[in-house]
Amino acid sequence: MNDASEKIGVCIERGKVNKSSPYPGDMAGQDGADELTVSALEWGVTPDKILSACNIGMQRIGEKFGRNEVFVPELLMSAKAMNAVMTHLKPFFQSGNVKAKGKFVIGTVAGDLHDIGKNLVAMVVEGNGWEVIDLGVDVKPSKFISAVKENSGCIVGLSALLTTTMVNMAKTVSEIKAVYPGTKIIVGGAPLTYDKAVKMGADGYSPDPQGTVEFLNKNLL
Amino acid sequence: MSLKYLPVDVEKEIYEVEISFKDLSITRKEIEHDIGYSGISAPEHFSGIIDAVLSRAADKCGIRAGYRIIDIQKKEDANHGLLLDGVFFSPDKIIYPQIKKAERAAMFAVTIGREMELWSGELFRRGEILMGYMADAAASSIVENITDLLHDHIRSRMLESEMKITNRYSPGYCNWNVSEQHLLFSLLPKNFCGISLTESSLMLPVKSVSGIIGIGKNVRYSKYNCNRCAVKDCTYRTRRRPGEKAVVLK
Ligand code: B1M
């Protein structure tokens, strides 16, 4: 049983989606995350166990990404494999048998239209067991505030790619904090640094998706 | 390669250059390099996807590139400023010394239009995230490649009148505040090359590049002086063509 969930974890780390997927080359023709999840559930492996194996797989690939050992494409393949698992686990989430770690509201701030970096962060966070509410791009502070209201206890993530929109990011942080002072906010994106994040009053900064996951896990309620 | 250029406004010396996809030298290797695989090979599966993207890119790139040549009216060493047609730029202390020997400047803009961007977004929405990402990355590499061509074109044109050119510098790089995009575009016709600017200085279409090139008898093209800048993961620090050290134009 353990072996089954471990194998799923390996598929997540290596980005092996299903049997027909040619990637990674050395796993061609083998069962992938899709088939292995179906079998594991049939054998009675609990969804929780599958999920925690997946989280380990996602964490490993995220760490490799943070160390520049792999790049965005590998991360995307892992997210795809994770998606394949989630398709089979969805009913357990819906029935309440499995619970997400928490809620993460993410968006690219007002005036900025960049979404690939933000999407990547969202995929990796979701793959690590969080429910992600993606507000999209060009998101005004009021929309973030409404999302915090609707998703009580959530953590907020803000992304920006230009120094000009970082100004809107600072504004978003202060407006959210004015209404919900207890809400934790993490910021990221190319022009950000730890110092700039601190200066704008954010609770966290991460240069990459894995750091975001670490921040979220540390702030689990 | 000699590119055809057409005047947009003769008096103001504004030109658009005709560049077609087949003029480009973009390769799969270059895109792989730009997304991180420099010095190591990308997994075969990814290379195949880049090839598939490149095979469709020609139809999806609406290339436009142009520039305006302007006299530099005034240079202010004290605050690293340049006055061009009444507009005062503050390109800061990394760029200013490179341009200050120039008599004239080319203000340029380049785009590949929206189609690649829309295609990438569509692929993401359909769940084809890897191809969506590769389309986005290819679009970025393509627009940089076009900017290389435009840079080369300006160099050849200026050489005809025995003028030399500098590296190109863009607002948002080397401490030059990105908000000066508004100043740069104020010197170009409205919607130049189909590019518009948002309040937050974002060019639309997204896959666009703008900048300045110094022109003069005593300017030179120099190696990037990245050790003077604090941005650790800037394109020009990380982006080198395979096997390339630093391009030295005449
Ligand atoms: C919530 O918590 C979190 C945590 C982590 C978070 C997060 C949230 N959100 C993101 N992250 C993090 O995780 C993600 C995954 O690792 C990452 O997300 P990213 O979105 O950063 O990463 C993407 C997956 C891949 N990354 C990218 O696609 C951007 C890469 C770099 C090299 C880059 C590229 C490719 C391009 N560019 Co340009 N470009 C740069 C970038 C420098 C860099 N090294 O990042 C950046 C963004 N560009 C910059 C600039 C200035 C510009 N660019 C321009 C143009 C271009 C290209 C067209 C050539 C091309 C495509 C741009 C595009 N938007 O599609 C211009 C603007 C274009 C426009 N439309 O207005 C122009 C203005 C230059 C000009 N004057 O022409 C700089 C912005 C900084 C600033 N000063 O504002 C820049 C940081 C480069 C630099 N100076 O080093 C992390 O940031």
pLDDT digits (tens, 9 = 90+) for B44-72: 999 999 999 999 999 999 999 999 999 99
- A165, two tokens: 């929109």
| Pair (A119, A24) in one structural domain | no
Question: Which residues, other chains included, contact A115 with Cβ-Cβ below 8 Å and sequence gap of 6+?
Answer: A108, A136, A137, B121
Q: Which pLDDT belongs to residue A3?
A: 85
Q: Which pLDDT belongs to residue B71?
A: 97
| Pair (A87, A108) in one structural domain | no
| Pair (A112, A143) in one structural domain | yes
Residue A199's CATH number: 3.40.50.280
State how far residue A4 is from chain B, nearest Cα, in angstroms: 26
- Name chain B contacts of A25, Cβ cutoff 8 Å: 43-45
Residue A49's CATH number: 1.10.1240.10
Q: What is the pTM of this model?
A: 0.94
CA distances from A157 to A103, A165, A213 (A): 11, 15, 11
The last residue of a domain, from among A57, A72, A95: A95
| Pair (A74, A107) in one structural domain | no
If you measure from the C-alpha of residue A37 to the centroid of ligand 1, how many angstroms do you get, rounded to a whole number? 37
- Domains, chain B, ordered by start: 5-237 (3.40.109.40)
Could you tell me which of A212, A216, A204, A129 has the C-alpha nearest to residue A173?
A: A204
Could you tell me which of A41, A42, A53, A8 has the C-alpha nearest to residue A27?
A: A8
- Name chain B contacts of A116, Cβ cutoff 8 Å: 133, 136
The last residue of a domain, from among A95, A120, A152: A95
Report whether residue A186 contacts ligand 1, using a CB cutoff of 6 Å: yes
Least reliable range by pLDDT among A88-92, A159-163, B30-34, B222-226: B222-226
- pLDDT confidence band for A129 (50 / 70 / 90): confident
Check if the beta carbon of residue A134 is closer than 8 Å to that of residue A106: yes
Note the residue count of chain B: 250
Report whether residue A165 contacts ligand 1, using a CB cutoff of 6 Å: no
Whether B199 shows a pLDDT value over 70: the answer reads: yes
Could you tell me which of B236, B238, B241 has the C-alpha nearest to residue B223?
A: B236
Whole-number Å distance between alpha carbons of A76 and A79: 5
Ligand 1: which atom is nearest the Cα of residue B170?
76
Q: Is B202 on the interface with A (CB under 8 A)?
A: yes
Contact B133 A73 (CB under 8 A): yes
Closest residue on chain B to A75 (Cα) = B130
Tokens 């598939």 locate to B52
Residue A159 main-chain phi, psi, to 5 deg: -125, 145
Q: Is A71 on the interface with B (CB under 8 A)?
A: yes
| Pair (A180, A118) in one structural domain | yes
Q: Is B92 left (phi over 0), alpha (psi -120 to 50) or beta?
A: left
| Pair (A29, A108) in one structural domain | no
Model pLDDT for residues B156-191, shown as the tens digit of each residue: 999 999 999 999 999 999 999 999 999 999 999 999
Could you tell me which of A27, A17, A13 has the C-alpha nearest to residue A83?
A: A17
Contact A79 B129 (CB under 8 A): yes
| Pair (A7, A64) in one structural domain | yes
- How many independent structural domains does chain A possess? 2
User: Which residue range forms the structural domain that includes residue A34?
Assistant: 2-95
Q: Which pLDDT belongs to residue B216?
A: 97
